[in-house]
Structure 1
Amino acid sequence: MDTAYQYKKRRVPLDRQRELRFGEGKISGYASVALGLLSLLAVLAYRYPAYLTTIELRQVYDAESLQLILKYGMYFSLFLGLLTFCFNRHKRLGVAGIGLTCVGFLLGGYDIPVGPVEPVRLSLGIDWLILAFLGSVVVFMTLEKLFPKYRNQVILRDEWGLDLFYFCFNHLMISAILIYGNYHASHFHWAVSDSVQQAVQSVPLLLQVCLIIICADFVLYWEHRLYHEVRVLWPIHAVHHSVEQMDWLAGSRGHFVQVFSERAMVMVPLYLLGADQSALDIYVAFAALQAVLIHCNVEIPFGPLKYLLVTPQFHHWHHSSEKPAIDTNYSAHTVLFDRLFNTYHMPGKHWPAEYGTTVRLPRSFLGQLLYPVRSFLGRVSK
């Protein structure tokens, strides 16, 4: 910790215009649109499952059972849309939600027959998008309201639409990400050791999960550190750091080059260890939940766990633009490697006062997509 640095408290003014308040029709309007859009996407996924759902996820859920959830989602969208007319405010949101749901009904609704699906390797992960969005809203938005770090930070904070786009884009691309990750990992077949894999599979399941976490964290630590400390790579990673208000959506912002490279690199230790499928499934669930949680606007007392695992306070400091925090806290799962390699920064009970990059990036998806190219060309021209 930098003892000379004067840590300040972050001030978050309440944005009255963006605040969601009961009795105004805004909550029911946005909920109607969200459910209507998700319902329409789900109907399309049931109609064209080979092209709009993922092979891996189809093996986990029961498509027929989920139609019951779709049924209630569609009717709730209609109900909430009509509610905006009762409040006589934000009726356009209500009309949009009702319209999306009606299109879903016209395309077959929740009664589309479920049958065998012809395997198509490259598809859009609409099923993954819907389930991840609903799960994130229920779990993480609830946590943010129960245990907020910054109570005045609103759900519809500045640039939430941009991060929602990143969330959708990254989840829809899940099949392509997995294909690329598996293809990259397969190049390390020469390093596969049958004796190592047999040894890993012989230990208890919990120990296998711990081995996966530590090995994956080692790879992710060094990849993350390279993105920070190699000048030509930083503009790619800077897109992720351009978020200036942290919440459950903030972690979704990331340049597609970084997203693909992270998934590809972390697949290597998973491939080489050869752990049981159950251990891999537990790790994937743990990693996915932790990745969202550490960006959340939450202040939860983790107790002794904060000295072992990456927590929101730890990762928020990684996103800080304050001088002592720059280029610190690279780890994704545990704090082990930051402590080993002297990049650990946790100044007591302090939290960051400022987030984002020291040089402000473009605020649009296209601008951020092209930012690394423009940065590279700018350096070449000099």
Structure 2
Amino acid sequence: MTFQQLLTDTALAFVMLGVAFWPLEWAFSARVGQRILRPAWGVDFAFFLGQYFVWAPLSVLAIMVARPLLQPEALAGLRAAVALQPTWLQVVEATVLCDLCVYGWHRLCHEVDWLWRFHAVHHSVEHLDWMAAHREHPLDGLTTQFVCNLPAFVLGIPLGPLTMVAAFRGMWAIFIHSNVRLPLGPLGFLFGAPELHHWHHARVEQTRHNFANLAPYMDWLFGTYHRPTGEERWALGLAEPFPRGYLAQLFLPLRDLVFPGRKAQERTQPS
């Protein structure tokens, strides 16, 4: 892909997402009065550009390189059996296993210190909207995508049938960060609603709820489900000091790994 094509695709993605989400955020605001150009919008825009220009293409490349390594000969019989299943069943299996893996990984990112250092970048956002969804450390994003695709790779499920599911999951991940209060009724048990994930971003000492961003039934199964009521007035972000610049947020977790004596063990892990 040429730089010009990458630039065109990034600009098109920005316009399409803005057209899709800005009207929703205006009509169904979770936090009425929040401006489009709210504080730190520029930082999240830098994360948006970084993802589309650099990190997402590199993540796709890394995942495709790793795919053959995750198909051991010992599981060839299992993959052959899965290949005989109808496509719809393969997609359902891959989706449910993906939801389970992502739930477990996300929960670990909150409970294991060296994983939290990277995931904390995402939780440093203090104003949620569709742009805030892109604030994510590239290593956090890469490992999450790797975990999400792991079941399909191991089972040998072709990526083609999963393309639409992946696109839907990507859009839904942006939706649950948007400044929207739009309860989904019974569908909220299968598809995460924004208020669930907004609560997950609450500035508390340690979150215990809503780790399954896109599959609330996983939280229900493991006892971590909570649906907040009333207006969204809780503070968002981290309970600890955190750098605000794009590059500083990228390098802080790496610095903590290189200089473990500086890691903030005294930090309490916020949501």
TM-score interval (norm. to shorter) = 0.7 to 0.9
Query: What amino acid is aligned across from residue 315 of structure 1 in structure 2?
Result: H
Contact 1:243–1:355 (CA<8 Å) still a contact in 2? yes
Equivalent residue for 1:132, pick from 13, 21, 29? 13
3-state DSSP of counterpart to 2:140 = helix
Equivalent residue for 2:63, pick from 172, 178, 181? 181
Distance 1:352 1:338, change over 3 A: farther
> What residue in structure 2 maps to residue 18 of structure 1?
none
Equivalent residue for 1:230, pick from 112, 115, 119? 112
> Whose RCO is larger (CA < 8 A, sep 6+)?
2
Distance 1:290 1:362, change over 3 A: same
Distance 1:365 1:381, change over 3 A: closer
Distance 1:351 1:175, change over 3 A: same
Q: Considering only CA atoms, is the larger Rg found in Structure 1 or Structure 2?
A: 1
The alignment's C-alpha RMSD in Å is 2.4
Distance 1:245 1:381 in 2: 28
Distance 1:177 1:381 in 2: 29
> What residue in structure 1 maps to residue 37 of structure 2?
156
Offset of residue 377 of structure 1: 5.7
Cα deviation, 1:13-53, whole Å, max 9, x if unaligned, reads: xxxxxxxxxxxxxxxxxxxxxxxxxxxxxxxxxxxx54554
Equivalent residue for 2:214, pick from 316, 330, 333? 333
Offset of residue 187 of structure 1: 1.7
Distance 1:352 1:273 in 2: 44
Distance 1:207 1:52 in 2: 39
Spell out the pairing of 1:191-230 with structure 2 (5 A cutoff): 193-197=75-79, 199-230=81-112
* Corresponding residue pairs, total: 262
Equivalent residue for 1:354, pick from 235, 245, 250? 235
Offset of residue 127 of structure 1: 4.1
Offset of residue 269 of structure 1: 1.5
Distance 1:298 1:204, change over 3 A: farther
Question: Which stretches in structure 1 are left out of the alignment for 5+ residues?
Answer: 1-48, 54-124
Contact 1:128–1:172 (CA<8 Å) still a contact in 2? no
Equivalent residue for 2:169, pick from 277, 287, 305? 287
Distance 1:205 1:132, change over 3 A: farther
> What residue in structure 2 maps to residue 320 of structure 1?
202
- Answer with 127-136 or 148-157: which moved more: 127-136
Identical pairs, percent: 32
Equivalent residue for 1:345, pick from 196, 218, 226? 226
Distance 2:214 2:74 in 1: 24
Distance 1:270 1:244, change over 3 A: same
Distance 1:275 1:349 in 2: 43
Distance 1:368 1:321, change over 3 A: same
Question: Which stretches in structure 2 are left out of the alignment for 5+ residues?
Answer: 264-271
Distance 1:196 1:241, change over 3 A: same
> What residue in structure 2 maps to residue 371 of structure 1?
252
Spell out the pairing of 1:258-277 with structure 2 (5 A cutoff): 258-277=140-159
